[in-house]
Amino acid sequence: MDGQALVWWGLAGLALLLANWKAVGYRIRWALAFVGLALQLRYLAWRGLDTLVFSSPAVFVSLALFAAEIYSFIQLLLFYFQVARPTSPRADLEGLPRLPEVDVFIPTYDEPLEVIERTAVCCLGMDYPGKTVYILDDGRRPQVAQLASRLGCRYLTRPNNRHAKAGNINEALARTSGELVVIFDADHAPVRSFLRETVGFFRDPRVAFVQTAQHFYNPDPFQHNLLLQRVFTNEQDLFFKGIMPGRDRYNAAFWTGSGAVFRRRALQEVGGVRPETLTEDFHTSLELHSRGWRSIHLDRVLSAGLSPESYSGYILQRLRWAHGAFQTWWRANPLFRKGLSLGQRLCYYSSIHYFMFGWARMVFLLAPLAFLLFGWMPLRATPLELAVFYLPQMAIIQAVFPLLSGRRRLMPASDLYETALCFFQAPAAVKALLFPRSGVFKVTPKGERRQQGQFHLMMALPHLALALLIGLGLGLGLWRLQHGQANRDATIINGVWALYNLFLALGVLLVARELPQRRRSHRLSVGLACEVEALGATLPARTVDFSEAGAAIRLGAGSLPPVVQVSIFPPGRGSVRVAAAVTHSEREGDKQKVGLRFLPATASEKEALIRLAFGLGLAWQAERTPRVGFWRSLGYLAMLPLKAVPSWRAQRRRFPRSSLYLRAGLEGKGGFLWCYTRDCSQEGLGLVARGQGAPGRGQPVTLSLGEGRNAFSLAGEVAWAVVKGPWVRLGIRLKLREEQRPLWARRLARL
């Protein structure tokens, strides 16, 4: 056994070393993957033959754990099968005898108007002559009809909401006639070239639909609440940019609800969008493939949308997907559906099999507690046996998984996602399997805003209970060890296992603690050349981030008035000029970072900003997938509690302060006293005065500056006050009328 251990650990060590090497070739990756699978088969054989416990009641825990491990092995095999040979098809409009007419559908129900407007403006801006844009309003809102009229879109509605999104689209299909149909969710804005890069695939008469890679420009709840946006990719990136290109090899890529172009005749052949399940996209794709139609997955980001913006929205979306997947299992089981190839059957089955993870994850979370709390052994093994059979195969799988996923995911991150869902998903899966006709389509909330942080107690209650039970179990385990009442090896094994589960539970609790989301429009990280016109000068600058509502820019040091004119220059195109209010400014060495809120005077200016932010796709074309090294990524995960605590940051001022040392007079409720200025800006000053008689926070004051003919006074109020021994430091917020601001700016320049 010692010789075997050295061999297996040598292979595991090699895999762990290669996991951090960026130049690992295709053959080496798959060689390591097959070694890992062989070791996992060896491990499962050992588990089934030597470690199962058959004494009651531990037999139920032991068999459930073994079944969960078999499920995980099957899921890993299906994952390897799907990502083995990704495709990268391309097509253009060359060779088409004519350009087909295209109907663009934007189904909506209750999304905010600014979200719908963003998508509609970008759809109208697509570079394609024969298109008609329709807003399909299931909310029957007059303001949406007015928006459609103002933008130049067609507006369609219906008297009921039968079959939700599927019924909405089918109603529009019956009232339109374009040869091709494009479907965008209300929050998915396409780039200008969307149709020119997708319509060319329909020169093949067998193509039913083209699905493009979905991109989400906002951080998901895990990235946002754990402050890991710059470290890990969006939770859905692994599927859209890793799995779907591989499924295309087997003609098994399916419609994912948005960003797809359909041949109308193909939809009509299967009776339109299938309304029988909550995942109408998955079910419709299965029907099309079973009838011999072909699909294309175009691995290019040609539209961008919103991922769930809250933990509750994330749970709602995934439960709908799980319910719909099991409904499809009953109505159109891919394993027995006629017309599907073996590859298609396995790919579709994998999508359904995945949503059974809730049961397996619950077993992994609760199994060590069975021993720590009740003494029920989940398996019979020594630490040495686990070191020989379990650890080598797990080390190789942990190392190979990010290599095969394009470094988009680590296994512990997948464990965290599954832990967040399992307590909700497992009972939902049982309900869907027993009552497949149940379930109501619920729209994922979009455009959510939170001025303050909040904690989803009800959503986090199962994980809070799990964390408390693990703490109790670990305490009991230590007490029994101290009093010689427990098996030492078993307690250590289950204790380490429980500690890992505690880490996952605490991570979910941090995700359930929502951080504020104050912006209505998420900023896109893109650097664009721009110019700021202020005080008669034109200052060169560059954007740091950008949206149709505002931007952060970096430019040289200097004072700016409250409102400036900004001209933004996208590459290879004209410019967009708009007024902007200065919201804050921060010094960065010899430069300053300025926050702007755009003030478009006309609807055309606002639409130009939307097309600049989303229609050109500059942000996601320039975006690079975070590919943090294997060990560094593990370090980030291990430090989740610290990463989730926002670092202290000074309050951002609207205008940067400059040092200024002058004698000044301060008159307030307590009388007059002399003081000295420390710094100043266009909207405030910092002062130092004797503490006795100094005004308190919120009190109105009058400040006197200068001497003789240059003397002048300003009104203000105390924004803050800090006592330092006999002295007090004061922050004064000036109350300036609009006609006083230029005068104060000129006086500041002289001072």
Most confident by average pLDDT, 287-291, 318-322, 583-587? 287-291
- Average pLDDT of every residue of the chain: 86
Segment 101-117 shows an average pLDDT of 94
The CATH number of the structural domain formed by 529-622 is 2.40.10.220
Pairing of strands 180-183, 102-108: parallel
Residue 72 above 60 pLDDT? yes
Provide the pLDDT for residue 537: 84
Query: Is there a common fold for 529-622 and 658-750?
Result: yes
Provide the pLDDT for residue 647: 42
Residue 207 above 90 pLDDT? yes
Residue 177 above 90 pLDDT? yes
Rounded to whole angstroms, the Cα distance separating 741 from 655 reads 13
> 10 Å Cβ neighbour count for 11?
19
Q: Is the CB of residue 482 less than 8 Å from the CB of residue 616?
A: no
Q: Which two tokens stand for residue 444?
A: 């994922």
What does the pLDDT look like over 710-736, one tens digit per residue?
Answer: 777 888 898 888 877 778 888 888 887
Segment 323-329 shows an average pLDDT of 91
Place of tokens 């998915």: 188
Catalytic one among 138, 187, 220, 415?
Answer: 138
Catalytic one among 103, 237, 248, 281?
Answer: 281
Q: What percent of the chain has pLDDT over 70?
A: 89
Segment 201-228 shows an average pLDDT of 91
Give CA torsion, residues 355, 356, 360, 363, to 10 deg. Answer: 100
Rg over CA atoms, the chain: 31
Q: Lowest mean pLDDT of 1-15, 389-403, 597-611, name the range.
A: 1-15
Q: Which of 176, 185, 181, 140 is nearest to 161 (CA)?
A: 140
Q: Where are the domains of the chain?
A: 529-622, 658-750
138 is catalytic: yes
Residue 482 above 80 pLDDT? yes
pTM: 0.83
pLDDT band at 271 (very low <50, low <70, confident <90, very high): very high
Rounded to whole angstroms, the Cα distance separating 249 from 735 reads 67
Q: What percent of the chain has pLDDT over 90?
A: 46
Residue 521 above 80 pLDDT? no
Place of tokens 């095969």: 404
Buried b (16+ CB within 10 A) or exposed e, 192-210: bbbbbbbbbbbeeeebbbb
Cβ-based burial of 500 (10 A; exposed 0-12, middle 13-18, buried ≥19): middle
Residue 543 CA: distances (Å) to CA of 552, 558, 583, 622, 696: 6, 17, 15, 14, 40
Rounded to whole angstroms, the Cα distance separating 337 from 291 reads 10
Rounded to whole angstroms, the Cα distance separating 134 from 278 reads 23
Most confident by average pLDDT, 207-211, 323-327, 391-395? 207-211
Segment 501-525 shows an average pLDDT of 85
Q: Which of 673, 655, 681 is nearest to 726 (CA)?
A: 673
Residue 656 above 70 pLDDT? no
* 380 phi-psi bin (left φ>0, alpha ψ -120 to 50, beta other): beta
Provide the pLDDT for residue 52: 94
Handedness of CA 238, 244, 247, 252 (dihedral sign): positive
220 is catalytic: no
The CATH number of the structural domain formed by 658-750 is 2.40.10.220
SS3 190: strand
